Amino acid sequence: MFDWSFFLSNTLFLQHFYSSVVNFGMVMKIQFLLFLSIPLFFLSSCERAIEFKLEETTPKLVVEATIENGLPPVITLTKSLDYFSKINVGILANSFVHNSEVYISNGTLTHKLKEYTVTVNGGYNYFYYSIDSSNLVTAFAGQLNKSYSLRIRWEGKEYYATTHIPAITRHIDSVYWKNAPAGNPSEKVAVMLKVTDPPGYGDYIRYFTKRNNEPFYPGLSSVYDDQIIDGTTYNAQVERGVDRNESHPEGYTYFNKGDTVTVKLCNIDKSTFDFWRTMEFTYSSVGNPFSSPTKVISNMSSGALGYFGGYAAQYRTLIIPR
């Protein structure tokens, strides 16, 4: 029988999802930046000052739902925040959605998830839904080449989404390091991957990095397709993952000598790729009056924000000598 106790009590495992929800607070704020991007752009070209009042909006359900091969599903539910809301862990703690009915199905089994809480750094509680440890008969972990459906009932309304965990096709052949380019401090190194992509377009990936005891963080641009590298073996730098709520100093893409770095490379389906591609483009465009307005593409129904994504993950660890 599968041992669920490890996943339901492992704090290091949950820290990855806590870091995701802190970053995911940016998603909620970006929705309102998108809403305002078009009128603000045109107002900036007018000479006459125009004042307008932003009305309070009805909170929407924000979903970050993931399932990874060999791991149980983890679903975080929050309510969207107003445009001028300041994003911090305290405000996010009050935005969690409780007592929802959350179901996940693999086409054979349907399991009702249970709400859990874990105390994370700073003394804040992080709430999430996962396998109900008191009812393991219908519980399951993610599998490669399998599709999943999600159903959420919140405040009398139902929300649906589907995802697929693909096969692992973008294989990591090796991971290594080399000194950062001239002009960087001598302790800085670039982590490199040698990767083989199979022939045939439609191969999508997302990557994360973990440095020493830090959580996994996605790269600033974390998703890629295979339009350029289809069917080839190539070498690429793995830029250090970032916490999007913090500033990124010069040279943030590099690691340090003495670091232990774990790279998580995931094959993902097209809907997961489209969500993060558009979300990350929007994030990078915030504050740029010349950027084109972009809609963040969600696979959630009924007007919910966020996504349900399947991850076919492989891990490689590199110990960089001092």
Amino acid 31: pLDDT: 44
CA atoms within a 13 Å half-sphere pointing along the CA-CB vector of 173 = 10
Q: Which residue has the higher pLDDT, 156 or 49?
A: 156
Residue 264 has pLDDT above 80, yes or no: yes
Residue by residue, DSSP assigns 116-168 as: EEEE-TTS-EEEEEE--TT--TT---B-TTEEEEEEEEETTEEEEEEEEE---
Taken in order of first residue, the domains within the chain and their CATH numbers are 5-166+271-310 (no CATH), 171-268+313-319 (2.60.40)
What's the chain's Rg over C-alpha atoms? 20
Say which DSSP state 90 is in. Answer: H
Look up residue 307 and give its two tokens.
């996504």
Question: Among the ranges 8-17, 80-89, 235-244, which has the highest mean pLDDT value?
Answer: 235-244
pLDDT of residue 165: 98
Per residue in 147-179, pLDDT (tens digit) is 999 999 999 999 999 999 999 999 999 999 999
Helix (H, G, I), strand (E, B) or coil at 17: helix
Q: Distance between CA 60 and CA 67 in Å, rounded?
A: 23
Cα–Cα dist 215/233, whole Å:
29
Other Cβ atoms closer than 10 A to 40: 13
Determine the Cα–Cα distance for residues 78 and 95; give it in Å rounded to an integer. 5
* CA–CA dist 94, 28 (Å, integer): 14
Residue 14's pLDDT is: 53
Q: Please report, for residues 128, 223, 244, the alpha-carbon distance to residue 200 in angstroms, rounded to integers and kept in the order given.
A: 37, 18, 33
Spatial CA neighbour of 157 closest among 271, 28, 60, 24: 60
Res 230 pLDDT > 90: yes
List, for residues 173-192, the tens digit of each pLDDT value: 999 999 999 999 999 999 99
Give Cβ neighbours of residue 61 (< 8 Å, ≥ 6 apart): 77, 79, 80, 97, 152, 154, 159, 300, 304, 305, 306
Nearest to 67 by CA among 270, 216, 269, 250: 269
Determine the average pLDDT of the residues in 224-247: 92
pTM, to two decimals: 0.85
Query: What pLDDT is stored for residue 44 in this prediction?
Result: 41
Question: What's the pLDDT band for 58 if we cut at 50, 70, 90?
Answer: confident
Of 243, 175, 165, 246, nearest to 206 by C-alpha is 165
Helices (H), the chain: 5-9, 11-43, 89-95, 270-285
Phi, psi of 309 (to 5 degrees): -130, 140
- The residues pairing with 265 across neighbouring beta strands, listed in sequence order, are 207, 314
Mean pLDDT on 20-45 = 44
- Cα angle value 195/282/48 (rounded, 5°): 155
Question: What pLDDT shows up at residue 38?
Answer: 39
Average pLDDT over residues 243-271: 92
pLDDT digits (tens, 9 = 90+) for 99-124: 999 999 999 999 999 999 988 777 77
Averaged pLDDT, 49-54: 52
